[in-house]
Structure 1
Amino acid sequence: MEDAADGRTPPPEGNVVTADLKAGGVRGSFDVVAGEAARPAAPRFTVPERDAGHAEYLVLEAAAERIANRRAKGLLRMFSEYYPCASCRAVMQQFLRAYPRMSIELGYGRGEPEAFAPDPVNPRIELTPVEP
């Protein structure tokens, strides 16, 4: 089954994303499993409905829920089993527009990087393959 938006096969349900958040006085670690975590009642970011269960998106929503101050400076470090889809990369850019003093680092285990151009206004996303 291919994702019509970018022609790639979506990751299977159950993709796990582990995250560490350090933003202002907020510190925390959490894990999200795609398709198993509850979707936010009041989403802050826009994602196509078909991708609303993706773990990367849910981590970004959870992080935004924990950060009270949009001026907080910090880092969201994530590890995903798969290279993030186009929708999740777009949500990372939405997150950085909402939190202009934050940065995102995402390591991934599988998948081929697509052409990825960071947001020209907020180029604070680093995607790194992690060898097993």
Structure 2
Amino acid sequence: MECVFCRIVRREAPASLLHEDDQVLAFCDLNPVNPGHLLVVPKVHGVGLADLSEADGQRVFTVGQRLAAVVRTIGVRCEGVNLFLADGEAAGQEVFHVHLHVIPRFKGDRFRLVPGSRRASRRDLDDVASRVRAAL
């Protein structure tokens, strides 16, 4: 099945568009967590973040940051904002085209990101940090 976000970018599928530039498109989420839930997608198809150019990845987050500020001013209930990007099925990605959620939050809403209960050892954290530094 063809990517729904690519179809939206090409205007072959409906969306409530709110921002467009050369690199990204932003629109309202069809299944919002809360009113004002927005999505920012790169115009080029990439399944995960590693598939995007650095410039396209930066632009997704720059526009997301701007929209997070704007959503606080438009009259939807918004006491905070989550920027959420799931990269891979195990991370909860359901549409396999990179997309950043901009989610207005308020006390008592039902959206939950449940962190793990395991606390990592300093040794494990230092090991991961060392491997990331080496790969950079």
Same fold? TM cut 0.5? no
Larger radius of gyration: 2
Write 1 or 2 for the structure with the bigger share of strand: 1
Higher helix fraction (1 or 2):
2
